[in-house]
C-alpha cells in the first residue's frame, strides 16, 4: 500500500485533528511526522472535547495504532500530561502508541532559549508558541540533540547535563531570568513515562505496515504556509510541514506516497506574527473570530482572521501535490451578506496570481465577491442540501485550484461531516 498524507494548507488550525479522527476508522495506523507540542489538534465527539499536542489523532479509535515519527520533537512533560488526560478518559495507550527512537527531545533549556530569544526580538518576534520547537530543531540540525533512543542508555544523564550546560552558556547572552529546577523534575518523570511505550524505528515499522497492505495515514501539524522552506520566513515554524516532511519524518520513500489530503478553512486564520494579505482588521474579522471561536488550541491567543486566499491555496496545493481537498468551518460563513475570495495580489504595480518570494512586503489582495447565505448549516448531512450560494463558492474554488473537494465540515463534532 501507499502512505496517505493529511496536512494543513494554510497557517495551521485548519481542523486536522477533527478530520483525522473522522478518517481514522478507515486506517490501521495514524502517524505524526513533524512538529511537536506547538500543535493543538482538537477532537469533538459525544460530549467529549479533547486537544492533542504530540499524540496522533487516531487515539480515540481502539483498533488504530498511533505512531510518533522520527521527525517529531517531544517534550516529556507535555507528553506525560497528554497521557494522564487520556487516562482520565479511559484511553490506555501503552499498547497502541509507538514512539520513534529517532524523535528528538525538547529539553527544559530549549523552552527557556525559545522564550529568551523571542523576548530579545521585541517587536520582530515570531510569535512562537514558546514550546522550545526552534531551539530543539536547531540542536537536531546542529548535531547536538538528544533522541528518544538515548533515554534507555546509561550515559543519558551525562548527555543531558552536557547539552543543558551548553544552553546555560548561550543564555548568558540574554537578559532573561529563568528557573530550570522545577521543570527538570517533571521532565525526568516524563522520561520515565516515555519508557513505558514501545520505542521503535519508524522507518522499519511504517514500511513493514505498507508492505503488509495495511493502511497508514500520516498526520501533519501546523500548515504549509508555516513551512521552514516555503512559508513566510522567518515567520514560520522550524520543520517541513509539507508532504515531503512525511517522507523524512517517517522514513518513507517519495514513490510510496498515495493520496495527499489537503485541509483548508473556508476562510483564513493565523496565530503569531507574519504577513497575512487577506487579514480583516475590522468588524468582519471580529465576526469570523467570534463565530469560529478562533482562539489558539495550544496558547489561547486570539487568531487573526481574514478571507480565503486563493494564490496562497494554489501554492500549497502545488507544494504538496494535493490529490483531494477538505474544507472545514464552512458553517462559520453563515450569515454574511457578501463573502470574498482573494484571486490575485497587487504587487509593485502589477497584478499577480501567485505567492511571491516577497511575501513579507505589502501584497494588496484583489477580491471576487460571492453572495452569502443566511441559514445555519451545522445540522445538514448531505451535500445536496447545502445552500446553493455555498456550493457556488466551493465550485469556484475547485475550478481555480483544480482539485476536487471531497469532504465538507460544518461543525467541530465528528458527526458534522459531509462526504461528497
Ligand atoms: P488543527 O490544529 O488543524 O487540528 O485545528 P485546531 O483544533 O487547532 O482548530 C480547529 C478548531 O475548529 C477546533 O476548535 C475544532 O474543534 C474546530 N472545528 C473543526 N472543524 C470545524 C468546523 O467545520 N466548524 C466549526 N465551527 N468548527 C470546527
Ligand atoms: P497546529 O498543528 C497554528 C505558529 C506560531 C508562530 C509560528 C512559530 O495546531 O495547526 P513555533 O512554536 O513553531 O516556534 O511557532 O508558528 N504555529 C502554529 N499556528 N497552528 C499550529 O499548529 C502552530 N504551530 C506553530 O503561532 O506563529
Ligand atoms: Mg491547532
Contacts of 33 by beta carbon, 8 Å cutoff, 6+ apart: 69, 71, 72, 218, 219, 220, 245, 246, 248, 249, 250
Q: What does each C-alpha distance from 252 to 4, 6, 99, 374, 406 come to in angstroms?
A: 11, 15, 16, 46, 25
- E strand map for 201-355: 216-219, 257-265, 268-270, 304-306, 308-309, 324-328, 338-347, 350-352
d(CA 23, CA 394): 21
d(CA 154, CA 338): 64
pLDDT digits (tens, 9 = 90+) for 256-291: 999 999 999 999 999 999 999 999 999 999 999 999
Ligand 2: residues with CB < 6 A are 8, 11-13, 38-41, 126-129, 131, 133-134, 221-223, 226, 237, 271-272, 297
pLDDT digits (tens, 9 = 90+) for 12-61: 999 999 999 999 999 999 999 999 999 999 999 999 999 999 999 999 99
When pLDDT is cut at 50, 70 and 90, the band that residue 182 belongs to is: confident
When pLDDT is cut at 50, 70 and 90, the band that residue 185 belongs to is: very high
Average pLDDT, rounded, for the chain? 97
* Minimum mean pLDDT range among 1-5, 200-204, 297-301, 367-371: 297-301
The whole-number pLDDT of residue 87 equals 96
Q: Quick check: CB of 118 below 6 Å from ligand 1?
A: no
What 8-state DSSP symbol labels residue 301? P
Q: Which ligand is the nearest neighbour of the Cα of 327?
A: 1
**pTM for the predicted model, two decimal places:** 0.97
Shortest-distance atom of ligand 2 to CA 271: 26
Cis peptide before 214 (omega within 30 of 0): no
**412 CA distance to ligand 1 middle (Å):** 6
Q: Which of 114, 129, 265 to mutate to test the pocket of ligand 2 (most atoms within 8 A of CB)?
A: 129
d(CA 66, CA 69): 10
Q: Which of 50, 224, 265, 272 to mutate to test the pocket of ligand 2 (most atoms within 8 A of CB)?
A: 272
Q: Which of 19, 128, 329 to mutate to test the pocket of ligand 2 (most atoms within 8 A of CB)?
A: 128
pLDDT digits (tens, 9 = 90+) for 315-354: 999 999 999 999 999 999 999 999 999 999 999 999 999 9
The number of CA neighbours under 13 Å toward the Cβ of 116 is 20
**208 CA distance to ligand 3 middle (Å):** 30
Shortest-distance atom of ligand 1 to CA 17: 4
- 91-117 average pLDDT score: 96
**220 CA distance to ligand 1 middle (Å):** 15
For residue 194, the SS3 value is: helix
Scanning 212-271, the segments in alpha helix (DSSP H) are 244-250
Residues with CB under 5 A from ligand 3 (ion): 13, 40, 297
For residue 275, the SS3 value is: coil
Shortest-distance atom of ligand 2 to CA 239: 13
pLDDT digits (tens, 9 = 90+) for 117-147: 999 999 999 999 999 999 999 999 999 999 9
The whole-number pLDDT of residue 306 equals 98
In this structure, which residue's CA is closest to atom 16 in ligand 1? Answer: 412
In this structure, which residue's CA is closest to atom 14 in ligand 2? Answer: 128
When pLDDT is cut at 50, 70 and 90, the band that residue 177 belongs to is: very high
**130 CA distance to ligand 3 middle (Å):** 15
Report the candidate in 77, 75, 62 with the shortest Cα–Cα distance to residue 30: 62
Say what percent of the chain tops pLDDT 70. Answer: 100
When pLDDT is cut at 50, 70 and 90, the band that residue 299 belongs to is: confident
* Minimum mean pLDDT range among 112-116, 158-162, 294-298, 355-359: 294-298
Q: Quick check: CB of 167 below 6 Å from ligand 1?
A: no
The whole-number pLDDT of residue 298 equals 83
d(CA 281, CA 274): 14
- The number of beta carbons lying within 10 Å of the beta carbon of residue 301 is 13
Shortest-distance atom of ligand 1 to CA 8: 3
The set of catalytic residues is 13, 41
d(CA 241, CA 261): 13
d(CA 5, CA 247): 10
Amino acid at each position: 500500500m501507499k502512505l496517505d498524507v493529511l496536512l494543513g494548507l494554510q497557517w495551521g488550525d485548519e481542523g486536522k485533528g477533527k478530520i483525522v479522527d473522522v478518517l481514522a476508522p478507515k486506517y490501521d495506523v495514524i502517524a505524526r511526522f513533524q512538529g511537536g507540542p506547538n500543535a493543538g489538534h482538537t477532537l469533538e465527539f459525544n460530549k467529549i472535547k479533547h486537544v492533542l499536542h504530540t499524540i496522533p489523532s487516531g487515539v480515540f479509535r481502539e483498533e488504530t495504532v498511533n505512531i510518533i515519527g522520527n521527525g517529531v520533537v517531544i517534550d516529556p512533560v507535555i507528553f506525560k500530561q497528554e497521557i494522564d488526560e487520556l487516562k482520565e478518559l479511559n484511553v490506555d495507550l501503552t499498547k497502541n502508541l509507538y514512539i520513534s527512537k529517532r524523535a528528538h527531545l525538547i529539553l527544559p533549556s530549549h523552552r527557556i532559549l525559545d522564550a529568551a530569544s523571542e523576548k530579545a526580538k521585541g517587536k520582530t518576534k515570531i510569535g512562537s508558541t514558546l514550546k522550545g520547537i526552534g531551539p530543539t530543531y536547531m540542536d537536531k540540525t546542529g548535531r547536538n540533540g538528544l533522541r528518544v533512543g538515548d533515554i534507555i542508555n546509561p550515559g543519558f544523564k551525562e548527555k543531558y547535563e552536557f547539552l543543558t550546560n551548553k544552553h546555560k552558556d548561550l543564555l548568558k547572552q540574554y537578559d532573561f531570568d529563568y528557573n530550570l529546577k522545577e521543570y527538570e523534575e517533571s521532565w525526568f518523570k516524563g522520561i520515565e513515562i516515555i519508557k513505558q511505550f514501545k520505542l521503535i524505528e519508524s522507518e522499519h515499522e511504517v514500511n513493514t505496515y505498507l508492505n503488509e497492505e495495511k493502511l497508514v495515514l500520516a498526520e501533519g501539524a501546523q500548515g504549509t504556509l508555516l513551512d521552514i522552506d516555503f512559508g513566510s520566513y522567518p515567520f514560520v515554524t522550524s520543520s517541513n510541514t509539507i508532504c515531503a516532511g512525511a517522507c523524512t519524518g517517517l522514513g518513507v520513500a517519495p514513490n510510496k506516497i498515495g493520496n495527499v489530503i489537503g485541509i483548508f478553512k473556508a476562510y483564513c486564520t493565523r496565530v503569531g506574527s507574519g504577513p497575512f494579505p487577506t487579514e480583516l482588521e475590522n468588524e468582519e474579522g471580529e465576526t469570523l473570530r467570534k463565530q469560529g471561536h478562533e482562539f489558539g488550541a495550544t496558547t489561547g491567543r486570539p487568531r487573526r482572521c481574514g478571507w480565503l486566499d486563493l494564490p496562497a491555496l494554489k501554492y500549497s496545493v502545488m507544494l504538496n501535490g494535493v490529490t483531494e481537498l477538505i474544507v472545514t468551518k464552512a458553517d462559520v460563513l453563515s450569515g454574511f451578506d457578501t463573502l470574498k475570495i482573494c484571486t490575485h495580489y497587487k504587487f509593485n504595480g502589477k497584478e499577480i496570481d501567485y505567492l511571491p518570494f516577497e511575501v513579507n512586503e505589502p501584497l494588496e489582495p484583489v477580491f471576487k465577491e460571492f453572495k452569502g447565505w443566511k441559514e445555519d448549516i451545522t445540522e445538514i448531512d448531505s451535500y445536496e442540501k447545502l445552500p446553493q450560494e455555498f456550493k457556488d463558492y466551493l465550485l469556484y474554488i475547485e475550478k481555480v485550484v483544480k482539485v476536487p473537494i471531497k469532504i465538507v465540515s460544518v461543525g467541530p463534532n465528528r458527526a458534522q461531516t459531509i462526504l461528497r
